């Protein structure tokens, strides 16, 4: 049992270390955003059942910016709720889902909207980009943990 527990926690440590690195890189990118602006993350985890980085942008924005695609306010299932056409978060779940999974088209009322994107040509590190009205959002899939069985 001790050997099995050691292997389990070793794998858990490797995964959490990778997630912490991603969150640290998001923090650096979000620090470039002007205060109180809307931000979305255009990075999703590759080959996982549940995306462990979906809320990383929410944590990076605390006290600095607004996580525009946060689904919690628009569902009315949580304590924090939003009104229609508010300037902070999307006001319906369909838009929130489309931003998180791709296919959302930036509307003129969304502007200015910043996207945290994977640095071009890399598999790590993020940069900030101002998204234009009419632009179709397309998230980048990133591998956050090492592939052990390839």
Q: Delimit the domains of the chain by residue range.
A: 2-66+104-142
Query: Is a pLDDT exceeding 60 seen at residue 139?
Result: yes
What digits encode the pLDDT tens for the residues 121-132?
666 689 999 999
Return the pLDDT at 61: 94
Measured distance CA(132)–CA(71) in Å, rounded: 22
pTM listed for this prediction? 0.86
Check: CB of residue 139 under 8 Å from CB of residue 107.
Answer: no
Can you state the percent helix, strand and coil of the chain, rounding each to 5? 35, 15, 50
Q: What is the pLDDT of residue 78?
A: 87
Which of the two residues, 145 and 73, has the higher pLDDT score? 73
Q: What would the pLDDT profile of 53-96 be if each residue is shown by its tens digit? A: 888 999 999 999 999 999 989 888 888 888 888 989 999 999 99
Residue 143 pLDDT more than 80?
A: no
The pLDDT of residue 148 is above 60: no
């Amino acid at each position: 049992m001790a050997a099995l527990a050691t292997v389990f926690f070793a794998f858990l440590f490797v995964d959490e270390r990778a997630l912490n690195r991603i969150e640290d890189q998001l923090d650096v990118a979000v620090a470039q955003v002007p205060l109180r602006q809307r931000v979305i993350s255009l990075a999703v985890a590759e080959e996982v059942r549940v995306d462990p980085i979906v809320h990383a942008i929410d944590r990076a924005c605390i006290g600095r910016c607004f996580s525009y695609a946060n689904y919690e306010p628009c569902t009315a299932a949580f304590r924090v709720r939003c009104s229609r056409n508010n300037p902070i978060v999307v006001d319906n779940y369909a838009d929130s889902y489309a931003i998180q999974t791709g296919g959302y088209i930036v509307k003129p009322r969304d502007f200015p909207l910043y996207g945290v994107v994977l640095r071009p040509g890399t598999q790590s590190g993020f940069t900030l980009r101002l998204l234009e009205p009419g632009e179709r959002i397309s998230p980048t899939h990133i591998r956050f943990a090492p592939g052990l069985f390839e």
